[in-house]
Amino acid sequence: MSEEKKKAPRIYIDPKWEAAFKKLTDAETAECLRDIFEYYNAEEIEIYSSDKIQFFLESVVFPALDADKAAYIEKCAKNKQIAEEREAKKREAK
């Protein structure tokens, strides 16, 4: 499996974000979602649309995405280790 496919799990919307999203206009919500995808793919954003969006993303969304990504990468590494051990045992049994 390529590194890109292993990068992270799917993006989801956390129910805890709902109140913050409701405070954004439709245009700000669209900009916020674009920033989420930019961060998700590049892990950095150089220019935010507004201070309100920057605060929301950096204090709520990005930490959740980072935690989920770290857990996913850890799970992939553990599964790889388990598979390698299983294959080694199969080779030894032959």
Please give the average per-residue pLDDT across 65-86, as a whole number.
90
Note the pTM of the prediction, 2 decimals: 0.61
What pLDDT score does 8 carry? 52
Residue 55 maps to a domain: yes
> Is the residue at 89 inside a domain?
yes
47 pLDDT exceeds 90?
no
Domain count, the chain: 1
Q: Give the integer Cα–Cα distance in Å for 22 and 29.
A: 9
Answer yes or no: is 1 within a domain.
Answer: no
Asked if residue 9 is part of any domain, the answer here is no
Could you tell me if residue 77 is inside a domain?
Answer: yes
pLDDT at residue number 3: 52
Domain that holds residue 60: 15-93
Within a domain: 8:
no
pLDDT band at 5 (very low <50, low <70, confident <90, very high): low
Where does residue 3 fall: left (phi above 0), alpha (psi -120 to 50 degrees), or beta otherwise?
alpha
Asked whether residue 7 is assigned to any structural domain, the reply reads: no
